[in-house]
Structure 1
Amino acid sequence: MTKEKKLAQIKSLISDFANEVSENELSVLLEIAALANTEYNQKLFSHVNDE
């Protein structure tokens, strides 16, 4: 599965979940997404700096 397809699948799952959760649960989900994004960016830039 390509990265684009994985990202689209994740976005779809988040969208589906967001339609069914409370504001507090959505807040937690957004915090998790932000942390995951930060981790991804750190790994990406670490890889770029290694080249």
Structure 2
Amino acid sequence: MVERGPRPPPEEAASETDDVASGSIGYFRGQNDMRISGLRAHEVMEDWFY
């Protein structure tokens, strides 16, 4: 299971789509600090959106 990081507070999540987008941004910032590979990031994106 992939750690997705914290979600934004409900008042900031206007919709489920916005909530997912905000979570993605935070997740990839954190992974970038760990020097994640582009391939792994692509696999994660497929897991989220398919």
TM-score range, shorter chain: 0.3 to 0.5
More relative contact order, 1 or 2 (CA 8 Å, 6+ apart): 2
Using structure 1 for the length normalisation, give the TM-score. 0.41
Structure of greater Rg: 1
Q: Please state which structure has a larger fraction of its residues in helix.
A: 1
Using structure 2 for the length normalisation, give the TM-score. 0.42
